[in-house]
Amino acid sequence: MTQPTPRVLSGVQPTGNLHLGNYLGAIRNFVGLQQTHECLYCVVDMHAITVFQDPAELAANTREVAAAFIAAGVDPKSHIVFNQAQVLQHAELAWVLNCVARMGWLNRMTQFKEKAGKDREKASVGLYVYPNLMAADILLYKATHVPVGEDQKQHLELARDIAQKFNNDFNAADFFPQPEPLILGDATRVMSLRDGSKKMSKSDPSDLSRITMSDQADDIAKKIRKAKTDPDALPETVAGLEGRPEAANLLGIFAALSDKPLAEVVTGFAGKQFSDLKTDLADLAIEKIGPIGAEMKRLNEDPATIDAILADGAERARAIAEPIMGEVRKLVGFLGN
Ligand code: AQP
C-alpha cells in the first residue's frame, strides 16, 4: 500500500472565550506542523450550533477564531483556513457516517455525558452525533494527523473505528486512512485556574477560570494572581506534583509557554512560593499571549479580509473534498455521480 500524504486537519469551535487551553492544546501546534505537513485548519461552526449560539455572535466568533489561527502564525496562503459550513460535503459525509457509527459507540462518549449533564433528554440530537461530524471533518480530506488536546482523544479513537467500519462495510480496504491524534507538548490538558481538577473551558461561568486570547495584560496578571494554589512550597521534582493539581497546572503552563521541559521548570522553582511562580508566569504569559491578542484585534477590525480568507480557504478545501466525497457516493451506491 502506498503511504498517504501526511495531511493535517484540526478544528476549533467558534463558541467565544477562546482560551489558553485552546492555544496550548491545539492552535500553537497547528503552527509547527505547517513545516512538515499539508494543513487544513477549520473553524467548526457546525459543531458550535450543537449548543444554541446567537447568530450574530456565531459570525463574530467565527471570524475571531480565524483571526486567532492567523495571529498565532498559521499561513492561510500556504495552507488552508476555512469555516466548516462553507464546505457542504462535511454535512453530507457526516450523514453517511451517522449510518455507519453504532449507538453503542456514541453512548460511551464522555464529552456528551459531561456536556449534556443530568438532563440528557433536553440535549440536541446534534450534540449526541457530534463525534460523527468530527469523524467526517477528518475523513473528508483523508487526513492522517489530527493535532488536538487530550480531551479529544476519545473522539479520535471513534473516528478510527468509523473509518475502519466504513472500509469493511463497503469492501474498500484502506479507503479511509486511520487518523492519528497528535497530542503534543506539556499542556495537553490545561486546567481551570480556579479548580485544578476541571479542564479550562470556554463555557465555565467564571471568567477567572481561564486566560482568554484577547485578555489585556492587566487581566492576565490578575487572573494568574488569583489562581487557586495549595499551602505548600513548590516541589523539588516532577514526582512531587502528584496530588497537587494546581501546582502541576501552573508549572505545566509555564513549561509550555517557555518551551522548556517540565523537569527543568520544576527544578527552577524548587522550594519557592507560589507567589514567585505567579509573578514570573504572569510576565511570561503577557509576553507570549499579548502580541497574539493584539494581532487578533487588528485582524478583527477588518472583517472583509477575514471573510475573503475563509472563502478562499473553503474553495480550496472543496477542491480536495469533492473528489473524495464522489468516491464515497459511488461506494455507498448513490446514483447521480
Ligand atoms: N483545557 C484545554 N487544554 C488543552 N487543550 C484544550 N482544548 C480545549 N480545551 C483544552 C483543545 O482545543 C481545541 C479546540 O477545542 P474546541 O473549541 O473544539 O472545543 P472544546 O474542547 O469543547 O473546548 P472548550 O474550550 O473546553 O469548550 P467548552 O467549554 O464548550 O467545553 C481542541 O483540540 C481541544 O482538545
The CATH number linked to 256 is 1.10.240.10
Which residue type sits at 48? Answer: A
The pLDDT value recorded for residue 4 is 59
Catalytic residues: 115, 199, 202
Residue 193: inside a domain: no
Q: How confident is the model at residue 92 (pLDDT cuts 50, 70, 90)?
A: very high
The pLDDT value recorded for residue 248 is 96
Using CA atoms, how far apart are residues 233 and 166, in angstroms rounded to an integer? 53
- DSSP code at position 179: P
Same domain flag for 92 and 228 = no
Compute the average pLDDT of residues 66-83: 98
Write out pLDDT tens, residues 281-296.
999 999 999 999 999 9
Mean pLDDT of the chain: 96
The pLDDT value recorded for residue 2 is 56
Three cell numbers at 154? 476519545
Residue 60 has pLDDT above 80, yes or no: yes
Residue 1: inside a domain: no
Compute the average pLDDT of residues 245-265: 96
Most confidently predicted of 3-12, 107-116, 125-134, 186-195: 125-134
Same domain flag for 156 and 222 = no
Same domain flag for 19 and 140 = yes
The pLDDT value recorded for residue 193 is 98
Residue 92: inside a domain: yes
Judged on CB neighbours under 10 Å (0-12, 13-18, 19+), 324 is: middle
Facing residues of 38 across strands?
7
Residue 337 has pLDDT above 90, yes or no: no
Helices (H), 108-175: 110-116, 125-139, 153-169
Q: Which atom of ligand 1 is nearest to the CA of 152?
A: 35
Same domain flag for 90 and 211 = no
Q: How confident is the model at residue 276 (pLDDT cuts 50, 70, 90)?
A: very high
CATH of the domain at 128: 3.40.50.620
The pLDDT value recorded for residue 156 is 97
Q: Which residues form the domain of 256? A: 207-298
Is the torsion defined by CA of 78, 137, 124, 157 positive or negative? negative
Q: Identify the three-state secondary structure at position 173.
A: coil
Residue 141 has pLDDT above 80, yes or no: yes
> Which residue's CA is minimally distant from atom 7 of ligand 1?
22
Same domain flag for 83 and 29 = yes
Q: How confident is the model at residue 3 (pLDDT cuts 50, 70, 90)?
A: low
Is the torsion defined by CA of 235, 236, 240, 245 positive or negative? positive
Q: Which is nearest to 161 in space by CA: 119, 101, 209, 207?
A: 101
Number of domains in the chain: 2
Q: How confident is the model at residue 270 (pLDDT cuts 50, 70, 90)?
A: very high
Residue 42: inside a domain: yes
Residue 198: inside a domain: no
Same domain flag for 252 and 288 = yes
The pLDDT value recorded for residue 187 is 83
Same domain flag for 94 and 176 = yes
Compute the average pLDDT of residues 219-231: 97
Compute the average pLDDT of residues 224-239: 96
Q: How confident is the model at residue 251 (pLDDT cuts 50, 70, 90)?
A: very high
Residue 195: inside a domain: no
How far lies 145's CA from each of 16, 203, 222, 303, in Å? Answer: 26, 27, 37, 30
Q: 117 versus 318: which is more confidently predicted?
A: 318
Which residue type sits at 253? Answer: I
Same domain flag for 139 and 270 = no
Distance (Å) from CA 65 to ligand 1 centroid: 13
Q: Which atom of ligand 1 is nearest to the CA of 17?
A: 25
Same domain flag for 163 and 221 = no
Q: How confident is the model at residue 1 (pLDDT cuts 50, 70, 90)?
A: low
Compute the average pLDDT of residues 230-240: 96
> Which residue's CA is minimally distant from atom 2 of ligand 1?
21
Non-local CB neighbours of 81 within 8 Å, separated by 6+ positions: 41, 42, 43, 66, 69, 70, 74, 309, 310, 313
**Sheet of 38-43, strands arranged across:** 80-83, 38-43, 7-12, 145-147, 180-182
Using CA atoms, how far apart are residues 47 and 49, in angstroms rounded to an integer? 6
Q: How confident is the model at residue 38 (pLDDT cuts 50, 70, 90)?
A: very high
Residue 216 has pLDDT above 70, yes or no: yes
Instruction: Ligand 1: list residues with CB < 6 Å.
Output: 12-13, 15, 19, 21-22, 24-26, 148-149, 151-152, 188-190, 199-203
Q: Contact 292/213 with Cβ under 8 angstroms?
A: yes
Using CA atoms, how far apart are residues 267 and 328, in angstroms rounded to an integer? 53
Same domain flag for 220 and 102 = no
Same domain flag for 23 and 102 = yes
Write out pLDDT tens, residues 295-308.
999 999 999 999 99
Same domain flag for 286 and 307 = no
Ligand 1 mutation target, pool 41, 202, 204, 212, most atoms within 8 A of CB: 202
Residue 318: inside a domain: yes
Residue 337: inside a domain: no
Ligand 1 mutation target, pool 201, 204, 211, 213, most atoms within 8 A of CB: 201
